[in-house]
Amino acid sequence: MDKIIKIENLHFTYPGDEIPTLCGIDLEIERGSFVAVLGHNGSGKSTLAKLLNAILLPSDGKVTVSGIDTADKERTLELRRTVGLVFQNPDNQIVANLVEDDVAFAPENLGVEPEEIRRRVDDALKTVGMYEYRMHAPHLLSGGQKQRVAIAGILAMQPDCIVLDEPTAMLDPIGRREVVSTVSRLCREKGITVLLITHHMSECVDADRLIVLSEGKVVADGVPSDVFADADLLWSEGLSVPATTKLLYELNKSGINVPLTAIKTDDCATAVVNALNLVK
């Protein structure tokens, strides 16, 4: 399959720092996939995100997105149209007084024709379920709604890939559900590649792939059920596992044979019931 992101031997050290933040990352991300990235505070997740659209440039190694080398200054604009970033704090990324103006900001700057902007803004707002709010003032929306407006602003650029850096950290449970279901739909229905950086284990469950970073290196990489099955590794990295994995892990330790890979609530419950019936 087509690899949209290629990262080769990526090293990054912040100016003035002695210790590198990223030390030797090699990754390839498939086009159209939904990838979650976990890691403790300071593991290098946000730095990696910023390297994907040339907010930062590699100290060593190479990052290419859709064939564009991020270090190629001639193509920075093209790159930023290809990869959109959504940050943690919705209040820091809203620029206009009206929701639809905010969403139109990027295409306006890209010099898109007015009619085309209208069409893209309407489409983007409908996609994230905020069309009815197009004439509202963004600062009066809830956190989850603001994040969806921020995502719509990225969508209006028609990017191939969206990178979200802890977009749900400041949100309530419903805000989290709104944002995660929106991005997962973008991936499944529109084929947009999604990289979701998060601290919430439950948000990784539906991803195609889960990457765990620690001290600037990739320490685990696979389908979420396999990665979570190594609960000891996650705990030792200061992370956690979903409640489903935790239960299965404890039951295994107590001699009930259940697969650690049943990470969805329904699968987990079924696995437990089956195992108990066998015991009997």
Contact set with another protein (CB under 8 A): 39-42, 88, 140, 142-144, 166, 169-175, 177, 199, 201-202, 238-240, 242-244, 246-247, 250-251, 254, 256, 265-266, 268-270, 272-273, 276-277, 279-280
Q: Which is nearer to another protein, 1 or 19 (CB)?
A: 19
Please, what is the minimum distance in Å from the beta carbon of residue 76 to another protein?
29
Q: Which is nearer to another protein, 63 or 130 (CB)?
A: 130
Helices and strands (H, E) in the chain, number of each type: 10, 10
Q: Which is nearer to another protein, 184 or 240 (CB)?
A: 240
Please, what is the minimum distance in Å from the beta carbon of residue 162 to another protein?
20
Please, what is the minimum distance in Å from the beta carbon of residue 183 to another protein?
18
DSSP string, 215-273: TTEEEEEE-HHHHHH-HHHHHHTT----HHHHHHHHHHHTT----TT--SHHHHHHHHH
Tokens of 226: 């396999």
Please, what is the minimum distance in Å from the beta carbon of residue 205 to another protein?
10
**Chain position carrying tokens 């820091």:** 92
Q: Which is nearer to another protein, 57 or 269 (CB)?
A: 269
The sign of the torsion formed by the CA atoms of 65, 67, 72, 73 equals negative
**Checking phi first, is residue 9 left (phi over 0); if not, alpha (psi -120 to 50) or beta?**
left
Please, what is the minimum distance in Å from the beta carbon of residue 255 to another protein?
9
Tokens of 212: 């765990």
- Alpha carbons 145 and 132: distance in angstroms, whole number: 11
Q: Which is nearer to another protein, 38 or 157 (CB)?
A: 38
